[in-house]
Amino acid sequence: MQEIKRRYVIPGDKIIEGNYKPLMNVVKSGNYLISTRVGIAEAGKDGVKVIPLSGVYIPRVNDLVIGKVIDRSSLSWDVDINACFLAHLPAQDVFGRDFSPAKDDMGRQLGIGDLIIARIVSFDRTRDPMLTVQDKDLGKIPYGEFIKISPTRVPRLIGKRGSMIQTIEQATQTRVIIGQNGIVVVTGRDPEGLSLAAKAIRLVEEESHTTNLTQRVKTLLNVQDPEDQEQSEAVEASSSSASGGGIQEPEPPQASAESTPQTTSSQPQPEPPQASAESTPQTTSSQPQPEPPQASAESTPQTTSSQPQPEPPQASAESSQTTSNSVKTSSSTKEKHKIENSEKSSNSNSNDDQKEKKQE
Amino acid sequence: MSSSKRSTIIVEQLRKQQMLEALSRGKRLDGRDYDLYRNLEIEVGIIDKASGSAKVKLGNTEVIAGVKVETGEPFEGLENKGALIMSAEVLPTASPHVEPGPPDEDAIELSRVVDRGIRESEMLDLDKLALIPGKTVYTVFVDCSIINSDGNLLDATSYAVVAALLTSKFPVYEIQEDKVVNTGKTMPPPITTIPISITAVKIGESVLIDPTTEEEACMDARITMTTQSDGSIVAVQKGFTGPFSINQIVEFSEIARIKGEEIRSKIKELNSG
Amino acid sequence: MYSLKELTLLDENGIRSDGRGINDLRSIKITVGVVKNADGSAFIEFGKNKIIVAVYGPREVHPKHMALPDRCVLRCRYHMSPFSTDTRKNPAPSRREVEISKVMRESLEPSLILSDYPRAVIDVFVEVLQADGGSRCAGINAASVALADAGINMRDLVSACAAGRIADNIVLDVNDLEDKEGDADMPVAYMPNLEQVTLLQLDGKLTTTQFNECLNKAITGCKAVYEIQKDALMKKYFGNEMELKEEA
């Protein structure tokens, strides 16, 4: 597959002739593979794919998304997840199995306009997406800067092993919650840090097709850049989970497991993103921390963490049950292994970037 | 039939909280002061086939107005005056919430309020646009297409109409042997004054001019006031469900006059350029 | 009268009323991403045609019963602003606009992989701000670019151009005057990579030989238009960088 040069394509462009396997956003036509999207064509692990640069969010099972409650029926909430379909959050998911519309007041948990971070538990060609907030760190997001970006830019914003978002969080003393659907919420104490983080996120969105982006983000954020830290540059996180093609049939278990590191965590690292934001001194090194620096964070509502956030008090009280401390999920050794693998596979890109940087 | 459905746009609760919090400090979410307009760009003469045209960008709101001048029968009761006909369509391109089809009540209110400012100020001297009194007069169509919508369609549309009319060149029709003939010549339109509308919304006790979609989705009430060149008020429309105090209205009328003059001088430059 | 017409439309040097030769396109400019709220959009200036296209979707279908279980619904609205024509056009949709909406939709549909988005809808809104003959072709060109901008899965772009006949001459890209006064007008839409025709209409008389020449000429025009569509998309997404820079 070496003969496939990474290049910009538009729909209909012939990428290569011959017997290759079409992956994401590539279809076979005669003896050619052609792109179905505007994006970057490249050789994947076992075929040819196009990393798209535009498109609405297509839900995928296990994705973490940030949604807006826009309506409710007697048994569930309707949630706008910035996708082609409304998602539903069953009241039972929040109240438990013995939920009763007569007894329980749904309005006490979630109101119209509330933002939630949730996981998609089911979705296929015949059913609307179903959400859950029953997991650590899921639930209502009570405050923060709301930013909407193109869902296709999400993998780039996260970066390899969460490198990009980690850079932004550390430099701006903020915490960034990223939904795969392109909704981003930034929280932090310092208004300047917030606005700088927002600027950096916008920069990533606008220039995500370019090389050397991490460098430019660091320049914007005024981050010193030790040579050895720069490992993560690539035009795209390699196992991109951004809207690849259309609505898929349910995937075999292996396939979905493979995508887990991407789709379930903005930072597939042992430490929660929030920790990196709130305890900068410990995380300035690029080494993954084996231990969450803020062990107490997991059981403590966010608002009582050592560095109080500037949210209105009533919101915090409301949210303490449902709000997450971070968008972290456990990263098993197995997953970590996969991440490393995927990084290896894209090492050539990083090297390219390194070279380009030196030339500058 | 009119029903009081809420806006289809739901602002994120945390954005709304931020908005209220910012307002308590005298600021808006986009950093503007209460009486500050968004960036206003006006481009005229963009449609060659129209007698006059203008594209207005007010922040992200974008409107095109086109003037067509034809001849026809006068309106009943106004036999010696030219006819002015206005329409506005919020195109389905404008936002995900617009359904294609005949104008809904908001679009009709929009074109009627804009129309009222032009008509009541007598911006166009319709007396000069009669050809055969009682039989044939100039018919001036002003049609507006809202291409992208981010709040305050009323003012953006109103400025597009005023700019298109002001910079238009009317065809000169003559009566030859009882027939209307287009001479192929053009004339400047008979303009007497420049009406400028100013719109504000009330959120809590704050009154904000030139609201965005997000602010409109959180508003309690809306008010539009149109002043003409000499500062007198020619049209008012109070909208939405909340009330204004008398004090707020009186204060707003002063803002409408001052801000109206600012915008008016900007629009006047179009003709000198 | 006939000789006068010939003289205006095509002079003895093969120059047309607007100064073009018989194989020349009018000037074409496409800008991508012009409507802030839309998922995809494009603005095309094609001669004096000025057309704005916005795409929304894939999104939920309203009313819900219109949804299809196995594929996406494509809706298309071609609409002319009242000020777009020589005499003011009534804003209510005319029969002509309804037909053009239909043939435009049918010309775009083969390029889209609609089975990727079951139960959803894609809306294509084509607004003609100024019409100058060939507005359906110009609209299709902008719509296809807007669909690519929206990130809809497509097999190819659709490029459209008309050819026609003035007396015995087959000319490319018929303008307003030639459409009204000429002898035949044939709009064609074409998928340049897949080499398939997706729109074909004819108004006027052509012999079989003329028909073949006209079709071939229109296809040549479509291919030229394609390059402009491609440049517009590349410019929006990759700036002036046409090649992905990478070190060996």
Same domain, A136 and A162: no
Q: Which of A80, A113, A141 lies closest to B16 in CB terms?
A: A113
Q: Which of A7, A14, A86 lies closest to C193 in CB terms?
A: A14
3-state secondary structure of A272: coil
Check which CATH number belongs to the domain holding C115 and give it: 3.30.230.70
Task: Give per-residue pLDDT as tens, C127-143.
Answer: 999 999 999 999 999 99
Convert chain A into a string of H (helix), E (strand) and C (coil).
CCCCCCEEECCCCEEEECCCCECCCEEEECCEEEECCCEEEEECCCCEEEEECCCCECCCCCCEEEEEEEEECCCEEEEECCECCCEEEEHHHHHCCCCCCCCCCHHHCCCCCCEEEEEEEEEECCEEEEEECCCCCCEEECCCEEEECCHHHHHHHHCHHHHHHHHHHHHHCEEEEECCCCEEEEEECCHHHHHHHHHHHHHHHHCCCCCCHHHHHHHHHCCCCCHHHCCCCCCCCCCCCCCCCCCCCCCCHHHHHHHHHHHHCCCCCCCCHHHHHHCHHHHCCCCCCCCCCCHHHHCCCHHHCCCCCCCCHHHHHHHCCCCCCCCCCCCCHHHHHHHHHHHHHCHHHHHHHHHHHHHC
- pLDDT above 70 coverage of chain C, percent: 94
Token match 């329409």: residue? Answer: B87
C-alpha triplet B91, C159, A33: angle, nearest 5°: 115
Which chain C positions have a beta carbon within 8 Å of A52's beta carbon?
151
| Cis status, amide bond into A292, omega within 30 of 0 | no
Q: Does C90 touch chain B (CB under 8 A)?
A: no
**The two three-digit tokens of residue A322, written as one number:** 């449902």
Look up residue A151 and give its amino acid: P
Cross-strand bridge partners of residue C42: C32, C53
Same domain, A303 and A182: yes
Same domain, A241 and A325: yes
- Give the CA distances from residue B87 to residues A65, B223, C81, C99, in Å, rounded to whole numbers and listed in that order: 42, 21, 11, 24
Helix runs in B3-145, H state only: 13-24, 105-121
Number of structural domains chain C divides into: 1
Residue C232's domain comprises: 10-238
Position C1 in a domain: no
| Phi, psi (rounded to 5 degrees) for C81 | -65, 150
d(CA C231, CA C225): 10
Position A329 in a domain: yes
| pLDDT attached to residue A295 | 35
Q: Judged by CB atoms within 8 Å, which residues 172-211 of C form the interface with A?
A: 191-194
Position A16 in a domain: yes
Angle between helices B246-272 and B153-166 (to 10 degrees): 30
d(CA B143, CA A50): 44
Q: How confident is the model at residue A321 (pLDDT cuts 50, 70, 90)?
A: very low
Cβ–Cβ under 8 Å, residues C97 and C80? yes
Contact between chains at B47 and C129 (C-beta distance less than 8 A): yes
Check which CATH number belongs to the domain holding A38 and give it: 2.40.50.100
Position B2 in a domain: no
Which chain C positions have a beta carbon within 8 Å of A86's beta carbon?
60
Position A212 in a domain: yes
Buried b (16+ CB within 10 A) or exposed e, A172-211: bbbbbbbbbbbbbbbbbeeeebbebbbebbebbbebbbeb
Q: How confident is the model at residue B3 (pLDDT cuts 50, 70, 90)?
A: low
Residue A268 parent element (H or E): none
Helix runs in C95-207, H state only: 95-108, 135-149, 176-181
Helix runs in C43-125, H state only: 95-108
d(CA A120, CA A132): 7
Position B3 in a domain: no
d(CA B187, CA A75): 67
Contact between chains at A85 and C60 (C-beta distance less than 8 A): yes
**The two three-digit tokens of residue A69, written as one number:** 């409650």
d(CA B103, CA B99): 9
d(CA A287, CA C50): 56
**The two three-digit tokens of residue A233, written as one number:** 């540059």
Task: Give per-residue pLDDT as tens, C36-77.
Answer: 999 999 999 999 999 999 999 999 998 889 999 999 999 999
Burial of residue B154 (CB within 10 Å: 0-12, 13-18, 19+) is buried
- Mean pLDDT value across chain A: 72
Contact between chains at A10 and C59 (C-beta distance less than 8 A): no
| pLDDT attached to residue A327 | 43
Residue A350 has pLDDT above 90, yes or no: no
Contact between chains at A70 and B15 (C-beta distance less than 8 A): no
Residue range B141-168: mean pLDDT, rounded: 98
Which chain B positions have a beta carbon within 8 Å of C79's beta carbon?
91, 100
Residue A103 has pLDDT above 60, yes or no: yes
**Helix-strand-coil percent breakdown of chain B, rounded to 5?**
30, 35, 35
Position C247 in a domain: no
Position C248 in a domain: no
Same domain, A107 and A159: no
Position A1 in a domain: no
Number of structural domains chain B divides into: 1
| pLDDT attached to residue A318 | 37
Check which CATH number belongs to the domain holding A118 and give it: 2.40.50.140
Which of A6, A8, A40, A123 is the best substitution to test chain C (most C C-beta atoms within 10 A)? A8
Cβ–Cβ under 8 Å, residues B52 and B165? yes
Residue A134's domain comprises: 64-141
Contact between chains at B47 and C50 (C-beta distance less than 8 A): yes
Interface predicted TM-score of the whole assembly (ipTM), two decimals? 0.93
Q: Which of A12, A40, A125 lies closest to C155 in CB terms?
A: A12
Which of B14, B19, B213, B214 is the best substitution to test chain A (most A C-beta atoms within 10 A)? B14
Position C214 in a domain: yes
Position A280 in a domain: yes
Residue range C160-189: mean pLDDT, rounded: 94
Which chain A positions have a beta carbon within 8 Å of C156's beta carbon?
11-12, 34
Q: Does A203 touch chain C (CB under 8 A)?
A: no
Q: Which of B62, B66, B70 lies closest to C81 in CB terms?
A: B66
Position C243 in a domain: no
Task: Give per-residue pLDDT as tens, B85-103.
Answer: 999 999 999 999 998 888 8
Number of structural domains chain A divides into: 3
Residue C208 has pLDDT above 60, yes or no: yes
Residue B142's domain comprises: 13-272
Position B26 in a domain: yes
Which of B138, B147, B150, B173 is the best substitution to test chain C (most C C-beta atoms within 10 A)? B147
Q: Does C238 touch chain A (CB under 8 A)?
A: yes
- Give the CA distances from residue A185 to residues A66, A67, A198, A317, A329, in Å, rounded to whole numbers and listed in that order: 9, 11, 9, 19, 18
d(CA B201, CA B151): 11
Same domain, A127 and A150: no
Q: Does A144 touch chain B (CB under 8 A)?
A: yes
Residue A148 has pLDDT above 50, yes or no: yes
Lowest mean pLDDT among A252-256, B233-237, C137-141: A252-256
Cβ–Cβ under 8 Å, residues A79 and A69? yes
- Shortest Cα–Cα distance, B66 to chain C (Å): 5
Check which CATH number belongs to the domain holding A254 and give it: 3.30.1370.10
Task: Give per-residue pLDDT as tens, A150-183.
Answer: 999 999 999 989 999 999 999 999 999 999 999 9
Check which CATH number belongs to the domain holding B63 and give it: 3.30.230.70
d(CA B206, CA B24): 9
Token match 């494009």: residue? Answer: C42
How many CB atoms are closer than 10 A to CB B20?
A: 15
Instruction: Name the residue among A336, A346, A153 with its Cα closest to residue A233.
Output: A346
Q: Does A178 touch chain B (CB under 8 A)?
A: no
d(CA A19, CA C69): 32
CA atoms within 13 A on the CB side of B264: 19
- Shortest Cα–Cα distance, B253 to chain C (Å): 32
Q: Judged by CB atoms within 8 Å, which residues 80-99 of A form the interface with C?
A: 84-86
| pLDDT attached to residue A244 | 52
Q: How confident is the model at residue C241 (pLDDT cuts 50, 70, 90)?
A: low
Mind giving me the DSSP string for A329-354? ----HHHHHHHHHHHHHTHHHHHHHH
Position B117 in a domain: yes
Contact between chains at A146 and B13 (C-beta distance less than 8 A): no
Burial of residue C138 (CB within 10 Å: 0-12, 13-18, 19+) is buried
Q: Does C54 touch chain B (CB under 8 A)?
A: yes
Task: Give per-residue pLDDT as tens, B161-201.
Answer: 999 999 999 999 999 888 899 999 999 999 999 999 999 99
Same domain, A245 and A122: no
Same domain, A108 and A81: yes
Token match 């071609």: residue? Answer: C78
- pLDDT above 70 coverage of chain A, percent: 62
Same domain, A98 and A201: no
Task: Give per-residue pLDDT as tens, A326-348.
Answer: 343 333 333 333 333 333 333 33
- Strands A32-35 and A26-29, how do they pair? antiparallel
Same domain, A74 and A42: no
- Shortest Cα–Cα distance, B38 to chain C (Å): 16
Q: Does A176 touch chain C (CB under 8 A)?
A: no
DSSP single-letter state for residue A251: P
Which chain B positions have a beta carbon within 8 Å of A185's beta carbon?
14
Q: How confident is the model at residue A231 (pLDDT cuts 50, 70, 90)?
A: very low
d(CA A183, CA A185): 7
Residue range A218-239: mean pLDDT, rounded: 57
Look up residue C143 and give its amino acid: A
Position A150 in a domain: yes
Which chain B positions have a beta carbon within 8 Å of A312's beta carbon?
17, 21
